[in-house]
Homo-oligomer: A and B are copies of this chain.
Amino acid sequence: MRYVKDFHWSKGMRIRGMMDSFSHLGFQSIQLANARDIIVKMKKEGAKIFLTFTSNMVTSGLRGLFAQLVSLGMADILVTTAGAIEEDIMKAYGERFLIGRFSADDVELYEKGVNRVGNLFVRNESYEKFEDVMGGLLKSIYEKKPRWSVSEMLREFGLSLNDEHSILYQAARRNVPVFCPAITDGSIGFHLYMFQQDHPDFVVDVVEDFKRILWSTSYDDKKGIISLGGSVSKHHALLAALLNGGMNYAVYLTTAHSSSGSMSGATTDEAKSWGKVKDDSDVSTVIGDVTITFPLVIISALDELSDEGVIKG
């Protein structure tokens, strides 16, 4: 039996030390400490790691951390949404997002050409520049062939970038596939449509991508997932693993609760009924804002893995 221990401050505390204390502190802190232990374990035991995230996390500034995780070998398969792809490319081309406020006047923002995502602002001009970039990228891949699976296409995009903080850049260089099951659900969808108007044989083959995510792991591989937020990115990785015997390790960080029956709030326990995670797997669900919980859990895991020589850095 483990006991609750009184938590105390000591000057200059490191995240790793605080997370050690969280193992003895009640409620979501324990869940977070467990999640850290599972991430360390999945890496040490050589699991193929799925990292899934929604576009708002790329908006938030976690993008740099995702790219770094790829470069450190901490993520073998990425699954995300269209907005994440767009914003990763925008930022690789130098666009910057602004710190705003949740309570900003949205009508006023609209008049100024500013779009709000929670307490962040994205200017219209960021989308305008993205349009030019996409025009060039699509032309360039079409010249090679007319039919592309999404993950192949995103790899080409990544190879064209020149920003080591870019997710697509790191993924392309590390042969980490990036899956995006709803690729048209963003301004990129509009650009794909415009391009197809002029090039009717241009095809984005989402079915081929299903094969590719299925084959990205084997039945015999140990498999783990770090799922941030909900949406199709979470579901798609679980589905791919389900068809290959299920995840051995699962960490869900989300703000959604299980009470609504939604995928975003579905717990690691519920996943066991489906075989999405194995019945004896190591799992932890942590309820909380990912921009707080993810840095904590991953920094402490990386510190530990680095000390043990499992990763560089």
**CB-CB < 8 A to A22: which residues of B?**
291-292, 295
Contact in complex: B1, A273 (CB < 8 Å) = no
Chain B contacts of A11 at CB under 8 A?
A: 302-303, 306, 313
Decide yes or no whether A221 CB sits under 8 A from chain B. no
Q: A239-B185, A287-B259 are in contact. Are A110 and B60 (CB under 8 A)?
A: no
Task: Indicate how many identical chains form the complex.
Answer: 4
A262 CB within 8 Å of chain B: yes
Q: Which residues of B contact A211 (CB under 8 A)?
A: 193, 196-197
Other-chain residue from B14, B203, B214, B264 in contact with A256 (beta carbon distance below 8 A): B264
Asked, given contacts A9-B313, A210-B193, whether A61 binds B292 with beta carbons under 8 Å apart, the answer is no
| Contact, CB under 8 Å: B81 / A232 | yes
A26 at the interface (CB under 8 A from B): yes
Smallest beta-carbon distance A262→chain B, Å:
5
Q: Which residue of B lies closest to A116 (CB)?
A: B273
Chain B residue at minimum C-beta to C-beta distance from A202: B207
CA distance A114 to B1 in the complex (A): 13
Give complex CA distance A111, B190 in Å. 45
Determine the chain B residues whose CB is within 8 A of the CB of A55 once the complex forms.
Answer: 263
* Contact of A135 with B by CB under 8 A: no
Q: Give bound CA distance, A299 to B11, whole Å.
A: 8
Residues of B within 8 A of A223 (CB): none
A262 touches B255 (CB 8 A): yes
Bound-state Cα–Cα, A230 to B264, Å: 9
Q: Look across to chain B and name the residue whose beta carbon is closest to the beta carbon of A102.
A: B258
> Could you say which of B18, B185, B210, B303 contacts A295, with CB atoms under 8 Å apart?
B18
Instruction: Sample 14 A-B pairs with CB under 8 A, ordered by A number.
Output: A1-B99, A3-B97, A7-B62, A9-B65, A26-B119, A27-B289, A31-B119, A103-B103, A106-B269, A107-B272, A109-B272, A118-B258, A204-B206, A232-B232
